[in-house]
Structure 1
Amino acid sequence: MLRGLEIRDMLIIDRLELDFRPGLNALTGETGAGKSILLDSLGFVLGWRGRAELVRQGAEQGEVTAEFELAEGHPAWSVLEEAGIPAGDELILRRVNTADGRKTAWINDRRVSGEVLRTLSEHLVELHGQHDDRGLLNPRGHRALLDAFAGHDDLRAAVRSAWRDRAAADKALAAATAALSEVQAEEEFLRHAVGELDKLAPEPGEDEALDARRRLMQGAEKLRADVARAHAALGPEGAEGPMGDALRWLEGAADGVEGRLDAALEALGRALSDLGEAADEVERCLEALDFDPMELERTEERLFAIRGLARKHDVAPDELAEFAATLSARLSALDNGARDIAALEAAARAARAAYDTAAGRLSASRRAAAGALDAAVEAELAPLKMERARFETAVVAAEAGPEGTDEVSFTVATNPGAPAGPLAKIASGGELSRFLLALKVCLAGDARDVTMIFDEIDRGVGGATADAVGRRLRALAEGGQVLVVTHSPQVAALAAHHWRVEKSVRQDQTLSTVVPLDTDSRVDEIARMISGDEVTKEARAAARSLIG
């Protein structure tokens, strides 16, 4: 609830501090005293759009600070958390308007945008009056108000979930259909390219291997001749023969030289062994260099085919195998596309059917709640001397969406046989005020976390009707907080707390202030509201009677 409001240099207010309380708070005063300025200032700190010129003449800037007390679990806390604003035991809003029109706002000393203020204000304050386009007169909010009255949150949640599922199914179907259309447009290319690639069947790294084998075979003839000569030089007709002869000769002479040839024999044996290994390696190399001339031709043909296909598809030769797999997958998607589309179409139909079912249940509940709301509002209209008026909650078909398939609007007919129409267009000022009050009484529910402000909602009524208005305002304020700007003594007399707005001229400057009233001052103020400028004994007695 609103605990305090501090205003500095706004319009005709130089400095004003107000401490509001729970229950019904009445603000009274003569016409033009500045009651609307209080609402303008409160709307300013809440981020509402209002007057362009707010700074008091001669001041550099105007400033408004509002302090709110929030109960545990209040919806405002989630707004603060989302905005990254630290929460404490109190919520303080402050907004400054400079003389040149610049506006700056803070929440708990954290600078914020006007949009954050407006979002937060939706959970803090409700303004109801003849010129209110944010509350009950705004048709865009009527569906939410009816849903709150109906209390069918489970049905709304089911519709939102079904809408998400429907949207996801439609999106998947659209994406698959678009992808299939795209693939179908290149079907001829895909089938030809995949066939060509499948026939060639390139493998990763094959280009490099073929190129190496080709170079080897191209130089093999000259290389083989040199290697063959080396092989001959190492073999029995070459180095191996003389070395073998030398070994045999020395072995025959070794016994006669008393061990002097042992070392030579060992070295020569090792040399013959190494020579044999070298000859074996050279022989294996000769075998590798021994190729079929047709193999070179086949190798070159495949190498050129791979490189030609890579150029054709503008990919690297080593990426050809991966490219082939990609094209094969696309062709497979094309071949399976009709089956996949059929499955997605079935899923989309099921999702739409589930949504239609959920939306139908919500529509039925809304229509039932509309009838109950109409009866409740008309029951409230009778004590307000509008028993011949008719209130109707119109629920009509609308485009499907996450909130269902209904459009809701509150319509009224002020006299039997008269056509029904929107609240703001059909009802006169006094009638509209009473319609709004009756509707608010029926819609209040458990909304005790919001400060409700009624701006001259009792205009045009008096006597027993004004008393009925006051009693309903007092009932709304039970357990919560209601601020009413009123000219009705019956309404003011039922308030738990009373302030008088006064205007005075000091040093040729008009200023407005607000004075809290004690019991005696309150009697005088209500007496003034009864009798006018001249307060009589009879008026004071009537005031005491009203206050009870």
Structure 2
Amino acid sequence: MLTTLSIRDVVLIARLDLSFESGLSVLTGETGAGKSILLDALGLALGMRAEARLVRHGTDKASVAAVFEVAPNHPVIKILEERGIDASEESLVLRRTLGKDGRSKAFINDQPVGVQLLKEIGEALVEVHGQFENQRLLSEATHRSLLDAYGGLGRKVDNVRGLYASWRGAVDARLSAEEELETARRDQDYITHALGELLKLDPKPGEETELAGQRALMMNSEKLVTAMNAAATDLQGDGGALSRLQGALKSLGEVADHSNGRLGETIAALARAQSEATEADALLEGVAASLDMDPNSLEKAEERLFALRALARKHNVDVDGLADLARDLSHQVEALEDGNARLAELAKAEAAAKAAYGIAADALSDARRAGAAKMDRAVAGELKPLKLEKAQFSTAVTDLEEAYWGPEGCDKVVFQVSTNPGAPAGPLGKISSGGELARFTLALKAVLAEADPVLTLVFDEVDSGVGGAVADAVGERLEKLAGQAQVLVVTHSPQVAARGGHHLLVSKASTKPGVLTSVDILSKSERKEEIARMLAGATVTDEARAAADSLLEGAGS
């Protein structure tokens, strides 16, 4: 709710800090005292249109800050977090400055923001119902969601939204498959030829590395054979390492018993050397046996290696990627072969998803029509006490063409009104009288209060042009609304003022700097005097004070 409104240099207000309470707060004052200035100032903080005329004469800049208490789960918190604006504190501060050149700056929690974001947040926190100013209820874009909230249709809407997503997903899957099939058919000759080349070559992962290694080995085979032959001679030939090691072991073995154990380690080392040399000789023979000395083998390895690399260049992939390419092309060929069958399956799934969506959407439409009839009766019950007995309210629920079906169903919902018997129904904005429009929106808000909760509601002269029992009916409905939300009302009606839980008096006085507007919170006795003035006019009589007492007692104030 709105807790504080701080105004600096706005029209006739030099400096004003107002605190607000929950429930119903009324603002009264003589005509021209500056009540509309307060609403203009609040509108400035909420992101509404800024005009240079709002800057107080003789000053360079106007500023307004509105402080709200907002629950952590309120939708505006998520909006602000998505925009990177800190909203961790319990209070939310909307601030706007306006220069005398008409340029303004907007801030949320002291962080600069665009005016559009300030307006978006402001509209989510405060709903202003002035004469011709209630844009939200006049906007047909809100009517469907308001009806759904009133009828308690949230689960049905969620169900339709999920089925719509499934249907659109099925449509996208079919369209994607059609596009893939069309592309495959267009490139069919190329795909078939390319796949044939790949299958004929049959590339294997890692084959390039293996072939390159074989090629390098065979290209150096002569050097390898020469070196291995020399090594074999050095190991096995007369006077080679093996025979020399054997001789050394024999010589030392003959005298080992006479060395008192001193030759033991030497003999052991020579034995190990002989064993290692014997193993090396065996390994060398194995390598020699494995060498492919056939010139044709080198030619074959090079031919395949070069063929793999050429095909990889042709398709702009690595050699190791040829096997994956073959699989992809094979899948495309399969898609060509199975394309029509797959499309038939996808079309069947799409039709089933559409049918499920249609059934749920029809059920939602029926529920909306039932809810609309109930709401029409409820609004009708509010109109007569508000001196709108000739008006007829109706909620039109009509079928949308398929091209306009969406996540919320297949219906267009419009609130309509006929102001006189026999006159055709039209949009709410058709109401020409500002007072009638304000009372009509009050009737709607009274019906929608629980379904469409708003933190703060502002009504500007909703009682314009009425008095007596009608004004009392207006006050009664405002008081009822105040049980659901904070309500601020600018009023000229003593019947409405008497129902306020908090009473603010707007007045204007001449000072040395000029005429200035001030606002005072009235005590109980001051309230009686102000309501008596509203009843009697300039001269307050004892009869007026007695009537004021009666109004206050009747309202329970």
Query: What's the TM-score, normalizing by structure 2?
Result: 0.80
Structure 1 residue 17, shift from structure 2 partner: 2.2
Confirm or deny: 8 A CA contact 2:105 2:112 kept in the other structure. Answer: no
Q: How far apart in 2 are the matches of 1:397 and 1:535? A: 59
Aligned pairs for 1:325-344 within 5 A: 325-344=327-346
Match of 1:194 in 2: 195
Structure 2 spans left out of the alignment, 5+ residues: 251-273
- Identify which of 355, 359, 362 aligns with 2:361: 359
CA separation of 1:308/1:480 partners in 2, compared to 1, >3 Å: closer, same or farther? closer
- SS, match of residue 405 in structure 2: strand
- Identify which of 399, 417, 424 aligns with 1:419: 424
Structure 1 residue 427, shift from structure 2 partner: 4.4
Match of 2:255 in 1: none
Structure 1 spans left out of the alignment, 5+ residues: 252-271
Confirm or deny: 8 A CA contact 1:9 1:62 kept in the other structure. Answer: yes
CA separation of 1:368/1:292 partners in 2, compared to 1, >3 Å: closer, same or farther? same
Identity of counterpart residues, as a percentage?
A: 48
Confirm or deny: 8 A CA contact 2:9 2:56 kept in the other structure. Answer: yes
Match of 1:144 in 2: 145
The range that moved more, 293-302 or 421-430, is 293-302
Q: How far apart in 2 are the matches of 1:26 and 1:228? A: 110
Match of 2:15 in 1: 15
CA separation of 1:282/1:184 partners in 2, compared to 1, >3 Å: closer, same or farther? same
Match of 1:182 in 2: 183
Aligned pairs for 1:158-173 within 5 A: 158-173=159-174
Match of 1:25 in 2: 25
CA separation of 1:319/1:494 partners in 2, compared to 1, >3 Å: closer, same or farther? closer
Q: How far apart in 2 are the matches of 1:455 and 1:514? A: 17
Structure 1 residue 296, shift from structure 2 partner: 5.4
Matched letter for residue 471 of structure 1: E
- Per-residue CA distance 1:356-413 (angstroms, 9 max, x = gap): 2222222111111110111111111122232222100111223211222222111111
CA separation of 1:479/1:462 partners in 2, compared to 1, >3 Å: closer, same or farther? same
The range that moved more, 76-85 or 421-430, is 76-85
Matched letter for residue 421 of structure 1: G
Aligned pairs for 1:74-473 within 5 A: 78-79=78-79, 84-100=85-101, 101-107=103-109, 109=110, 112-207=113-208, 209-210=210-211, 295=297, 298-398=300-400, 399-445=404-450, 450-473=455-478
Structure 1 residue 532, shift from structure 2 partner: 3.8
CA separation of 1:234/1:140 partners in 2, compared to 1, >3 Å: closer, same or farther? closer
Aligned pairs for 1:35-50 within 5 A: 35-50=35-50
- Per-residue CA distance 1:292-312 (angstroms, 9 max, x = gap): 565555445434433443343
The range that moved more, 434-443 or 331-340, is 331-340
Structure 1 residue 12, shift from structure 2 partner: 1.4
The range that moved more, 342-351 or 379-388, is 342-351
Q: How far apart in 2 are the matches of 1:486 and 1:303? A: 93
Matched letter for residue 368 of structure 1: A
Q: How far apart in 2 are the matches of 1:402 and 1:474? A: 37
- Per-residue CA distance 1:131-166 (angstroms, 9 max, x = gap): 224332222211121112111111111122222222
Q: How far apart in 2 are the matches of 1:71 and 1:293? A: 85
CA separation of 1:364/1:218 partners in 2, compared to 1, >3 Å: closer, same or farther? same
- Identify which of 503, 507, 512 aligns with 2:508: 503
CA separation of 1:506/1:326 partners in 2, compared to 1, >3 Å: closer, same or farther? same
The range that moved more, 508-517 or 79-88, is 79-88
CA separation of 1:375/1:200 partners in 2, compared to 1, >3 Å: closer, same or farther? same
Match of 1:68 in 2: 68
Structure 1 residue 470, shift from structure 2 partner: 1.7
Structure 1 residue 91, shift from structure 2 partner: 4.0
- SS, match of residue 135 in structure 2: coil
Structure 1 residue 90, shift from structure 2 partner: 4.0
Confirm or deny: 8 A CA contact 2:461 2:491 kept in the other structure. Answer: yes
Match of 1:265 in 2: none
- SS, match of residue 503 in structure 1: strand
Matched, 1:5 2:5: yes
Confirm or deny: 8 A CA contact 2:509 2:515 kept in the other structure. Answer: yes
Matched letter for residue 442 of structure 1: V
The range that moved more, 288-297 or 376-385, is 288-297
Confirm or deny: 8 A CA contact 1:203 1:321 kept in the other structure. Answer: yes
Confirm or deny: 8 A CA contact 1:74 1:449 kept in the other structure. Answer: no
Q: How far apart in 2 are the matches of 1:142 and 1:460? A: 28
Match of 1:255 in 2: none
Confirm or deny: 8 A CA contact 1:163 1:402 kept in the other structure. Answer: yes
State how many pairs are aligned: 525
Structure 1 residue 128, shift from structure 2 partner: 1.2
Q: How far apart in 2 are the matches of 1:174 and 1:377? A: 47
Q: How far apart in 2 are the matches of 1:206 and 1:425? A: 80
Matched letter for residue 441 of structure 1: A
- Per-residue CA distance 1:90-146 (angstroms, 9 max, x = gap): 444443334452313132x55555444434334432211222243322222111211
Match of 1:518 in 2: 523
Q: How far apart in 1 are the matches of 2:529 and 2:232? A: 138
Matched letter for residue 370 of structure 1: A
Confirm or deny: 8 A CA contact 1:40 1:51 kept in the other structure. Answer: no
Q: How far apart in 2 are the matches of 1:425 and 1:235? A: 114
Matched, 1:494 2:499: yes
CA separation of 1:7/1:212 partners in 2, compared to 1, >3 Å: closer, same or farther? closer
- SS, match of residue 401 in structure 1: coil
- Per-residue CA distance 1:244-271 (angstroms, 9 max, x = gap): 9xx9xxx9xxxxxxxxxxxxxxxxxxxx
Aligned pairs for 1:46-57 within 5 A: 46-57=46-57
Matched letter for residue 343 of structure 1: E
CA separation of 1:406/1:278 partners in 2, compared to 1, >3 Å: closer, same or farther? closer
Confirm or deny: 8 A CA contact 2:34 2:507 kept in the other structure. Answer: yes
- Per-residue CA distance 1:509-542 (angstroms, 9 max, x = gap): 2321122333444344334434444445554444
Structure 1 residue 275, shift from structure 2 partner: 11
Matched letter for residue 65 of structure 2: T
Matched letter for residue 467 of structure 1: D
The range that moved more, 482-491 or 501-510, is 501-510
Q: How far apart in 2 are the matches of 1:67 and 1:289? A: 89
Q: How far apart in 2 are the matches of 1:275 and 1:521? A: 119
The range that moved more, 462-471 or 47-56, is 47-56
Confirm or deny: 8 A CA contact 2:50 2:98 kept in the other structure. Answer: no
Confirm or deny: 8 A CA contact 1:29 1:35 kept in the other structure. Answer: yes
